[in-house]
Amino acid sequence: MASRCNAMRRDGQPCAAAARPSGYCFYHDPAFAEQRAQGRRLGGYARSNAARIHKNTPPELQDVLVQLMQALDETYGGQLEPRVAGAMATLCRAIVRVYELGELAMRVQALEERDESDEAYPRTHP
């Protein structure tokens, strides 16, 4: 069994991630501080875009988006197990799929209704 990281998580529990030869996992290894700082900058960039994305997200999916953004932060910070985050991502994909099918069904219905009214008022050209 691989040894565990020597660091404590932000919630005070010992980090459960597998240790690298340094005795720390990637997220706690002092040698990776620069990469982590870059990751946080990218995270900040993602959050600054979140408001804009939020506006363009259908209202039904906004809760999903907020939860995903939070899970991303928590996974990166070690508070959420990647296994749980993976399960969340799978469920979110399923939710989005159902939403897409619903939207598609609405569009098809709208097209069919338009076709029916076209028959009542035939077009002058094909």
Return residues touching Zn ion (CB under 5 A).
5, 7, 15, 17, 25, 28
Specify the residue, 6 or 57, whose C-beta has the smaller distance to Zn ion.
Answer: 6
Specify the residue, 7 or 72, whose C-beta has the smaller distance to Zn ion.
Answer: 7
Minimum CB distance to Zn ion, residue 5 (Å): 3
CA angle 39, 76, 92 (to 5 degrees): 110
Minimum CB distance to Zn ion, residue 68 (Å): 23
Q: Using an 8 Å Cβ cutoff, are 54 and 47 in contact? A: no
Specify the residue, 28 or 64, whose C-beta has the smaller distance to Zn ion.
Answer: 28
CA distance 69 to 47: 8
Which of 39, 38, 66 is CA-nearest to residue 51? 66
Specify the residue, 5 or 88, whose C-beta has the smaller distance to Zn ion.
Answer: 5
Minimum CB distance to Zn ion, residue 11 (Å): 13
| Three-state SS at 82 | helix
Q: What six digits make up the tokens of 110?
A: 């709208």
Minimum CB distance to Zn ion, residue 8 (Å): 8
